[in-house]
Structure 1
Amino acid sequence: MPHKFNADRRDKIPKQKHRVTNWAEYNESLRRRGDLTVWISEEALALWSAPRRTQPGGQPVYSDLAIKTCLTMGMVFRQPLRQTQGLMCSIAKLLGVEIAVPSFSTLSRRGNGLTLRVQRQANGKAGIQLVVDSTGVKIYDAGDWLEEKHKTQRKGRSWRKLHLGLDLVSGEIVCSDLTTHGVGDSTALPGLLDQIDGPIDLFLADGAYDGDPTCDLLLARFGEGIEIAIPPPKNAMLSSDAAQKPTIRDRQITKIEAYERIAWQKTSGYNQRSRGETLVGHWKAVIGPKLKARSFENQKAEARIGVRVLKRMTELGRPNFERTA
């Protein structure tokens, strides 16, 4: 938000300069992101076949781990399902392992409702500094082709909304969800908080989460010790009972009026919310700006796999910066 208030002199503000202090380790982690041994382990090969069913019915051939591994490889190397099948066949041949590779139709069918265990974030006694943000991702649609060929304008565009939560301390994605574009950010917040085990010390979000319901939800779940930094709009008004019982939103409005918005952003730590926007940009650069799956359930599974891919890449190594100017 600061650039909105400094727009008239933005070109005169010197840009900060940083350098990476652990370049050798970070460079090695970037190389390992494309290493096949990172994505296919001996455990995955051992659990490739599905366990036999004890109930009547057809016997599954591939385990959920096998389907997840194939879909993960396709997402990492940005391959459609048919090319993913070919990729896995070549990998199995090069590794010299006797495994059956699912066909592209099997990957599509089993991806619908694929069970992925939620990786809950347990941070022990240390509290999480949570930053949440959302972005729109495109889905399969013939509208772009029709618009280009027939020079017509579509009535509406189809897209989904991806919600991501980042821990500022560990730098990991601790919660995520994929919803339709009609679901508001504050409406999706309870589902994101359900994925977190442990206390939250700081909550940062943009103005889409502004309102007493969000603050009441956070206070009810994490107690009075949580710090909340959500910028109210310029025309925000104090509540009717602000003199006797001021809410968190009332106190933020009062501080902004007293010290101006830029000073409030620095003192409250709201400037760190830019890391949430960086995470969104990282998603679209690594995973891509659109989803390949066509059904909503497959799209949710694809988004969950994308979150696991980004978390795995983050675990390989992160850069450490220091300011030089």
Structure 2
Amino acid sequence: MATKKDTHPSKKKDKYLIRNWKQYNQSLKNRGSITFWFRPEVIEKWYSWESPDGPGRPKFYSDDTILCALMIRAVFHCKLRQLQGFIESLIESLGLDLDCSHYSVFCRRAKKLSIPLRAPLKPGENLNIIFDSTGLKVFGEGEWKTRKHGYSKRRTWRKLHVGMCADSGQIVVGALSSNAVADDAAMVEMLDSLDECSLGEVFGDGAYDTIDSRMAIHDRGGRQIIPPPKNARVVRKDPAPCLIERNAAVEKIKEGGEEGRKLWKEATGYHKRSLVETFMFRFKTILGGNLSSRIWENQVTESMIKLQALNKMTELGMPDSYKVAN
């Protein structure tokens, strides 16, 4: 059978080796350990003894219990009824004198569950942060069917926005929105939620090259590592303070000629932005690119739980790789 000629041949990839292979290999195995996710401190706080703040009956299961169950659901790809059966069998296997929540309780409690993502910073330390976004499918047909025959049903997506610490690889802030929300608008809101942090370098792709996003970074004292578009011009007449760094980037790129953009990226360390692209690949490979929940509040909780789960996997250990000759 004749095949189409590849008009875009893939570039030969660089080869990397891992220095800490033994430790990293063990961390990969630990990700699948049920005792890593079903921890003793959760068992100790299984039931809630707090009185409700307002009207209504008190919670029987603690927030930690619900969070633990929903995180197991995300990591092991369980439906709600499967999750209840999984937790029940786990309790029975461990010989614990505990009750398991009904699957409908998991769904209801997820609406109001708080999932904080804290910045792993020391006092006085600046946060170097990388922003990016990706799409998560809620409804829609598979990619193979769509490519072969086109789509025939409604396709609905949500947009997951993340801010990653460039030094630790941890996600420090995240937000879920409709696919109509612009990346720069989401970034401004996420920066506002990090008001206790001092900003260092802020990385983003061309989608964040707007006045609002640059002003938000400038007002917080951060350094803008955002590439201007190819047709960008220097603003010479009374430029806003937030555009001074952009003007400098445009001038440096133009001075370098054809290699100007490459030189600017090397000088500013823009290559660090690839860390968040790697994170997005890990997110969809490990946890999937779909949202199981159908209610908006539950979708927000599900996405934040998945971010927290990947943070925990990062804490277990990451590869220390180095480039070798092809």
Structure 2 Cα separation of the partners of residues 315 and 165 of structure 1: 17
Q: Deviations over 1:113-146 (max 9, x none)?
A: 212334244332332221111000001x2x539x
Q: Give the SS at the match of 2:271.
A: helix
Structure 1 Cα separation of the partners of residues 250 and 112 of structure 2: 44
Say if 2:20 is the partner of 1:22: yes
Report the residue type matching 2:46 in the other structure.
Answer: W
Query: Structure 1 residues 242, 235: CA separation in 2 closer, same or farther (over 3 Å shift)?
Result: farther
Q: Which residue of 1 aligns with 2:67?
A: 68
Contact 2:47–2:60 (8 Å) recurs in 1: yes
Structure 2 Cα separation of the partners of residues 9 and 91 of structure 1: 49
Structure 1 Cα separation of the partners of residues 62 and 265 of structure 2: 49
Q: Deviations over 1:268-313 (max 9, x none)?
A: 1112211111111111011110110001100000011111100111
1:250 to 230, 247, 252: 247
Q: Give the SS at the match of 2:228.
A: coil
The percentage of counterpart residues that share the same residue type is 33
Q: Which runs of 5+ in 2 are unaligned?
A: 1-6
Q: Which residue of 2 aligns with 1:203?
A: 202
Query: Structure 1 residues 90, 187: CA separation in 2 closer, same or farther (over 3 Å shift)?
Result: same
The Cα of 1:243 is off from its aligned counterpart by: 8.5
Q: Which residue of 1 aligns with 2:4?
A: none
| Worse-superposed segment, 189-198 or 271-280 | 189-198
Query: Structure 1 residues 203, 117: CA separation in 2 closer, same or farther (over 3 Å shift)?
Result: closer
Structure 2 Cα separation of the partners of residues 8 and 42 of structure 1: 53
Say if 2:225 is the partner of 1:235: no
Q: Deviations over 1:71-125 (max 9, x none)?
A: 1111111111111111100110011111111121111111112123342443323
The Cα of 1:148 is off from its aligned counterpart by: 6.7
Query: Structure 1 residues 278, 128: CA separation in 2 closer, same or farther (over 3 Å shift)?
Result: same
Structure 1 Cα separation of the partners of residues 240 and 64 of structure 2: 57
Q: Which residue of 1 aligns with 2:299?
A: 299
Q: Which residue of 1 aligns with 2:320?
A: 320
Alignment of structure 1 residues 185-196 onto 2, 5 Å: 185-196=183-194
Q: Give the SS at the match of 2:113.
A: coil
Query: Structure 1 residues 153, 40: CA separation in 2 closer, same or farther (over 3 Å shift)?
Result: closer
The size of the alignment, in residue pairs, is 310
Contact 1:176–1:192 (8 Å) recurs in 2: yes
Contact 1:123–1:198 (8 Å) recurs in 2: no
Q: Which residue of 1 aligns with 2:270?
A: 270
Structure 1 Cα separation of the partners of residues 33 and 230 of structure 2: 49
Report the residue type matching 1:175 in the other structure.
Answer: V
Q: Deviations over 1:19-73 (max 9, x none)?
A: 1000011111111111111111221111111215266642322111111111111
Alignment of structure 1 residues 101-116 onto 2, 5 Å: 101-116=100-115
The Cα of 1:244 is off from its aligned counterpart by: 11
Q: Which residue of 1 aligns with 2:124?
A: 125
Report the residue type matching 1:230 in the other structure.
Answer: I
Structure 1 Cα separation of the partners of residues 118 and 277 of structure 2: 22
Contact 1:159–1:180 (8 Å) recurs in 2: yes
Superposed CA RMSD in Å reads 2.6
The Cα of 1:155 is off from its aligned counterpart by: 7.5
Query: Structure 1 residues 76, 186: CA separation in 2 closer, same or farther (over 3 Å shift)?
Result: same
Report the residue type matching 1:238 in the other structure.
Answer: V
Contact 1:128–1:201 (8 Å) recurs in 2: yes
Q: Which residue of 2 aligns with 1:165?
A: 163
Q: TM-score, normalised by structure 1?
A: 0.87
